[in-house]
Amino acid sequence: MSKSITYSDAGVSIDAANAAVERIKRMARGTFNARTLSEIGSFGGMFDGAFPGMNAPVLVASADGVGTKLKIAFLTNRHDTVGRDLVNHCTNDILVQGARPLFFLDYVAAGVLAPDVIVSIVEGVARGCRENSCVLLGGETAEMPGMYAAGEYDVAGFIVGVVDKEKVIDGQRIKPNDVLLALPSAGLHTNGYSLARKLFFEVAGYTADTHLDELGTTVGDALLQPHLS
């Protein structure tokens, strides 16, 4: 008599994935607006593409990740900030060309799907979307045993925005005597974490829980400061 092999035998929990998706749907709906034409769970997300207030609408798209800043999230077991980082990073990528965000898609992959962790990540994504008046239009969660170390995952974000063609920022109108404004950063944002981790944890010998008087916080909290839009 042959033995049946299921997804759970291969290390994939369909029930855990379904439970996470149901919670994610509720969070995504909190970002929807009148232009959202589909529900989470459709094969593709639909968004009203009419822009009556623009003469020549130009769509601007970008994709990005959080990088090795995720290693700090793993060390501290804090997963509620990286989703917000992801949205803000992508928003900034199109903002510099003058575009305002329309909708966002996320991708979360792990070796073993931990629903509470996935939901925490997407809570951050939803918060970032609300802060940027951006719809969380869809996404994907993937459980891939053997692809990631235990307790680790990866995230990616995809954003689409719009700008009127006459207002596109491309650097061509820069001229002598223009004023350059510098905006302060909350920290490293999502850049340079491979070097930062080496300096803090290998060279200095700190741990994520080490309190630094100069910063008034722990190393982990300092390195998890959110990427600002």
CATH number (domain holding residue 97): 3.30.1330.10
Tokens describing residue 109: 């992959």
Residue 197 forms part of a structural domain: no
Residue 10, pLDDT score: 62
- Asked if 78 contacts 224 with a C-beta cutoff of 8 angstroms, the reply is yes
Residue 35 forms part of a structural domain: yes
Q: 142 is in which domain, residue-wise?
A: 9-45+56-166
Counting the structural domains of the chain, the total is: 1
Residue 210 forms part of a structural domain: no
Residue 198 forms part of a structural domain: no
Q: Which stretch of 77-81, 119-123, 188-192 has the lowest confidence by average pLDDT? A: 188-192
Residue 23, pLDDT score: 85
Residue 227 forms part of a structural domain: no
Residue 173 forms part of a structural domain: no
| Cα three-residue angle 189-193-199, rounded to 5 degrees | 125
Residue 95, pLDDT score: 97
Residue 121 forms part of a structural domain: yes
Residue 82 forms part of a structural domain: yes
Give CA–CA dist 110/155, Å, rounded: 9
